[in-house]
């Protein structure tokens, strides 16, 4: 874990309205990270179902493209 004290000191030195912006930005980053994790989990969960469809003799010709 990085040393957060320099970052915290910089945030504390800002005016209140800027701190609110930082809070919004951190919330945005956290939401984006959660969205990415959810997308990755859904993709991983669907792989077995799609594998049954994608892996078939009729589509072997497309594998060579």
Q: Is the dihedral of CA 51, 54, 58, 64 positive or negative?
A: negative
Collapsing DSSP to helix, strand or coil, 2 comes out as: coil
Q: What residue numbers bound the domain in which 51 lies?
A: 15-56
Q: Does residue 22 contact residue 14 with C-beta atoms inside 8 Å?
A: yes
Instruction: Give dist(CA 11, CA 26) in Å, integer.
Output: 12
Query: Is 43 part of any domain?
Result: yes
User: pLDDT tens digits for 20-40?
Assistant: 999 999 999 999 999 999 999
Biggest CA-to-CA distance, the chain: 65
Number of structural domains the chain divides into: 1
Q: What is the rounded average pLDDT of the residues 42-47?
A: 91
Query: Is 41 part of any domain?
Result: yes
Note if the pTM is more than 0.75.
no
């Amino acid at each position: 874990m990085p040393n957060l004290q320099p970052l915290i000191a910089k945030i504390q030195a800002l005016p209140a309205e800027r701190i609110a912006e930082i809070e919004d930005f951190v919330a945005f980053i956290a939401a984006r990270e959660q969205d990415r994790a959810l997308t990755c989990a859904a993709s991983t969960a669907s792989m077995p179902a799609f594998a049954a469809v994608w892996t078939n003799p009729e589509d072997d010709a497309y594998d060579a493209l």
